[in-house]
Structure 1
C-alpha cells in the first residue's frame, strides 16, 4: 500500500525515503546473505580438495590391489596366433607350446542347380536333422543325430528362393531357430548353387539334410564340409602331450589370465606370459601424480599472500593445511608395515622395516612435491619382484588409509557447513517476512502523512479564501 501520488502534499520523495529506511532495516539480513556466500565459497574449496583426496585414494587403492601386480603381457611366436593378456587375480606367468591341429569352422552344405530361377526344381519338403560331427580313426567325418528332426515345407513355386526362405524361417518344436542360413548363389547365367551354412562354429553345431538327393546338376546331391572344433595339441611329441578343443577359435582357459586366438593350422607355436612391469610402473606413477595434485590443491586453497595481505578460502583451516604435512611425513619417514606369515598352519605377524621409499623410486623434491624415478622402480622390480610387490602394496594401502581418513574429515566439515547454510537461509527467509511487514507499515505511515498534510493544505486554502472575501 502506498500514496497515490508520491509527495503530493509534502513535496517529499517518500518512495526514496522508504527505500533508504528499508536498506537500514535489512542490514542484518544482508549480513546473513554475505555469510551464506562466504560459506558457499568455502564449501567449494573443501569440495575441490576432497575430489583430489579421493583421486589419490583411488590411485592408492589400485596400487595396493593384488590384481594390479598380476598384470601380464603375452607374446606369440606366430602371426597366426594372437595372445591377449587380461591379468587379474588368476593371472600367472609362464609359457605354453602347442600345435594348431585344427581351426573351428561352421558346417557348409551346397547343392548345384542348373537353373536357380526354375520352378518346381525342389521337392515339396525336406528334413533337417540337428547333430554333431566327429572324425574316426581313418580321418573320415561322422555325423551323429542329436534331438528330433524338423520337416521343412517348400512352398510353390518350389524354386531356389522358396527353398532358402523356408529354411531360414524354420524352427524346431519349441520354436527355436535351427541356426542355419540358406541362400542361392548364381555362378554363371542361371546356373548356381544353394548354400546352407551353420550360424555357429564347432562340431556340435552340425546338421544333416535329407530330401535333396539326386536333384542337383547331373543328378548330384548335397556336398558337405563338416563343422569342426578348433584343436590345440599341447606339448606335442612329449609324454605330457594332450589336446584341447574349443567350439570357437578362442581359448580362454588354457593359460590363466591369457586368451589365445588361432586362425590357421600351424606347428611349434609358443606363448609367453610375463609380468607387465610397464603397467605396474604406470600405477606407481599415477599414485605420485594424484598425490602431487592433492598437495598442490591444498597449498592453493590455504595460501596467504603477505604482499596483498589476502588469504585463500581455507587459509585459516589448520586441519586441511596439516594434511599436506601428513603425506610428506609418510614419505620422508620411510616405509614400515606388518607382514603375515604362515608356518605349519599357524599365522603370525611380523613388522617389516622396508626403509626409504627411494627403493621404489619415490622421493621428495625441494618444492614439497613427490618425485618418481620410473627407471629405478623398474630395475628394483626386475631384481626382486616379490619384495617390491610386497612393499608397493603396503605403500598403496597406507596412502589409501591416510587419504580415506582425510576425505572423511573434509566430508564431515562440508556437511556441517551445509547445515549452517540451511540455518542461515531459514533466517533470511524469516527476515523476508519481517521486512515485508515493515515496508508495508512505512508505506501506510507515509500515505497517512500525505493524506493529513493534504487535508491541512485544503483547510488553509479555504481559510485564505474566506479572509480574502
Structure 2
C-alpha cells in the first residue's frame, strides 16, 4: 500500500501512519484538556470584565451624587433685572435682599481738539514721539507705541495693563472722519486720566467716575461703595449689579438634580445586581460555584446598611431607598422629594461626601473593597489573578504543542526509515521470487 508520507511505499505504510496518528492523539489528550481549561478561564475573564464595567458605572454614579451634594446652591431672584447672582461650590443656602442704589460710572478722556485730525487711524497718530506718558491717579507710566498709528497707540496702552482701556472712535461724519483716542478707567470711581508727550497733554478728561453703591439686607446704613459692579454679597456668592432697584435672593440646593443622580445610581446598582445573579445556581455563568459572586452581592447589600444618629433622617430608607426580596434597589422619589423639601440641610448632612463622612463616604469605602485601585478589592484581585492564569495556560499550551510537534516529527522520521527498509526487502523478495519462478518455468520446459 502507498503512503504520502513514506518514500518506501511498503504494504505497512498505512499501519505506520495509524501508529503516528494514534501516538499524536494520545499525546494531545492533556493538550486538549488544557485548551478546554484555558477556554473556561477566558470565559471567567470575560465575566469579571463585565462585572468590572457594571461596578465602574456604579462608582461613576456615586461620584455624580457626591458632586451634586457639594455643588453650588441655585440662586433665584425676585427681580432678575437688578442683578446676576452666582454661588460657588460650598456656599451656604440663604435668603437675602440686595438693594442697588447706584451702578457707578467710569472716568473717561478723549484726545484733545486741535491735534492733527486723524482720517486714517492705521497710518496716522496724534503724536510723533516714540514715548508717551499715561498718568492714572497721578501715577505716570511710559508707553512705547509704534510711531505713526493711532491704532497702535491704543493697543500699546491696553497691553500696559495700567487700569485704563483705550479705543479709537470716530466723532466726525462718515465722509469727514475725525478719529480720536478714547480712554476709560477699568474701575469705577473718581479716577484721573491724562496722556502726554513732549509737547504736553494730549487728552481731555470729560467725566470723573463714581463708585457703585448697594446694601445687603438693608446694611450698612450709608451703603457699601465698590469700584466694581461685581461684588461679593456672601461667602462664595457674587452679584453683578445690572440696574438700580431691589431684589430678594434665595440660595437653595437643587433637589431635582440630586434626585436624578440618585435615580441613576439605583439603575447602576440594579444592573450590577442582575449581572451577579447570572453567575448563581446550577445553570449559572462562568463564575458559578466561585465565591466572587457571593462577595460582590454582599458588598451591594452593605451599601444600604448605613445608619446615622439623626432624628429626622437616619438611614437610606428615610430617603426612599430600600432593597426588595430579589436584591434590587428601589427608590421612592416622593419620599425623597418630601424629605428634601422639608429638611434640605439635614438631607445634605446625611449624604455627606465621599471624603467628608456620611452616607456617601460609607458607600465609597464599601466600593473600595470591591475595586480599590490600590489593590485589595475582590474584583480587582480576581481580574489580576485570572489574567495571570491565562498567561500561564498560554505558555503551557505553547510548550506542550512544541513537544507534540517534536514527537510527531521524530515518529515520522523513524517510521519512514522502517517503511523504506521494508519496501526494499519487499523488492528483493519480489526479485528472488521472480528468479525462482523463471527457473522453475525453464526446468519444466
TM-score range, shorter chain: 0.7 to 0.9
Secondary structure in 2 matching 1:316: coil
Change (3 A) 1:422 1:55: same
- Structure 1 equivalent of residue 119 of structure 2: 116
Counterpart in 2 of 1:455? 424
Match of 1:49 in 2: 51
Select which of 187, 192, 203 maps to 2:178: 192
Deviation at 1:316, TM superposition (A): 1.5
Q: Tell me the C-alpha RMSD between the 2 structures.
A: 4.4
- Report the secondary structure of 2:89's partner residue: coil
* TM-score, reference length from structure 1: 0.71
Question: CA–CA distance in 2 between the matches of 1:50 and 1:18?
Answer: 47
Q: Deviations over 1:159-189 (max 9, x none)?
A: xxx34236536899xxx68786655758422
Which string of whole-angstrom CA distances, capped at 9 and with x for unpartnered residues, describes residues 9-30 of structure 1? 3264677975664344223123
| Partner SS state of residue 368, structure 1 | coil
Deviation at 1:371, TM superposition (A): 1.6
- Cα contact 2:168–2:181 (8 A) shared by 1: yes
Superposition deviation, residue 419 in structure 1: 2.5
**Mapped partners of 1:378, 1:104: distance in 2:** 46
Distance in 1 (alpha carbons) for counterparts of 2:400 and 2:107: 80
3-state SS of 1:154 partner: coil
311, 324, 333: which one pairs with 2:297? Answer: 324
8 Å CA contact 2:8, 2:419 repeated in 1: yes
Q: Distance in 2 between matches of 1:25 and 1:177?
A: 85
Secondary structure in 1 aligned to 2:98? strand
Cα distance change, pair 377–117 in 1 and its aligned pair in 2 (3 A) = closer
The aligned runs of 1:377-388 (5 Å cut-off) are 377-388=336-347
User: What is the SS of the residue equivalent to 1:324?
Assistant: helix
Q: Distance between the aligned counterparts of 1:84 and 1:420, measured in 2?
A: 55
Q: What is the aligned partner in structure 1 of residue 334 from structure 2? A: 375
Contact kept in structure 1, 2:9 and 2:420, CA below 8 Å:
no
Equivalent residue runs for 1:61-76 within 5 Å: 63=65, 68=69, 71-76=72-77
Partner of 1:149, secondary structure, is strand
Bigger Cα displacement from structure 2, 13-22 vs 97-106: 13-22
- Match of residue 287 from structure 2: 314
Say which one has the larger Rg.
Answer: 2
Aligned in 2, Cα 1:83/1:236: closer, same or farther, shift over 3 Å?
closer
**The structure with more strand, counted as a fraction of residues:** 1
Residue equivalent to 2:355: none
**How do residues 415-430 of structure 1 correspond to structure 2 at under 5 angstroms?**
415-430=384-399
- Post-superposition Cα deviations, 1:253-272, rounded to whole Å, max 9, x if no partner, equal 4323333334x442224432
Contact map agreement 1:363 1:371 (CA 8 A) in 2: yes
Q: Quote the Cα distance in structure 2 between the aligned partners of 1:57 and 1:153.
A: 59
Corresponding residue of 1:438:
407
Q: Which residue of 2 aligns with 1:403?
A: 367
Task: Give unmatched runs, 5+ long, in structure 1.
Answer: 133-142, 156-161, 216-220, 340-351
Deviation, structure 1 residue 74: 0.3
User: Which residue does the alignment assign to 2:253?
Assistant: 275
2:142 paired residue number: 149
Q: Is the 8 A contact 2:253 2:344 kept in 1?
A: no
5+ long unaligned stretches in structure 2: 353-357, 372-376, 440-445
After TM superposition, the structure 1 = structure 2 runs for residues 102-251 of structure 1, keeping only pairs within 5 Å, are: 102=103, 109=110, 114=117, 116-117=119-120, 122-125=126-129, 127-132=131-136, 143-146=137-140, 148-152=141-145, 154-155=147-148, 162-165=149-152, 168=155, 187-196=173-182, 201-202=186-187, 208-211=194-197, 222=203, 231-235=212-216, 238-243=219-224, 245=226, 249-251=229-231
1:19-98 mapped onto 2 (5 Å cutoff): 21-60=23-62, 63=65, 68=69, 71-76=72-77, 77-79=79-81, 81-88=83-90, 90-98=91-99
Q: CA deviation at 1:84?
A: 2.6
What residue is the counterpart of 1:138 in the other structure?
A: none
Cα drift, residue 131 of structure 1: 4.7
Q: How big is each residue's C-alpha offset from its partner over 1:360-402, in whole Å with a ceiling of 9 and x where there is no partner?
A: 1223346532221222212123333444344444333333333
- 2:274 pairs, out of 289, 296, 318, with 296
The structural deviation recorded for 1:437 is 1.8
Higher deviation after alignment, 459-468 or 277-286: 459-468
CA distance in 2, matches of 1:286, 1:120: 64
TM-score (ref. length: structure 2) = 0.74
SS for the counterpart of 1:209 is strand
Shift of 1:424: 1.9
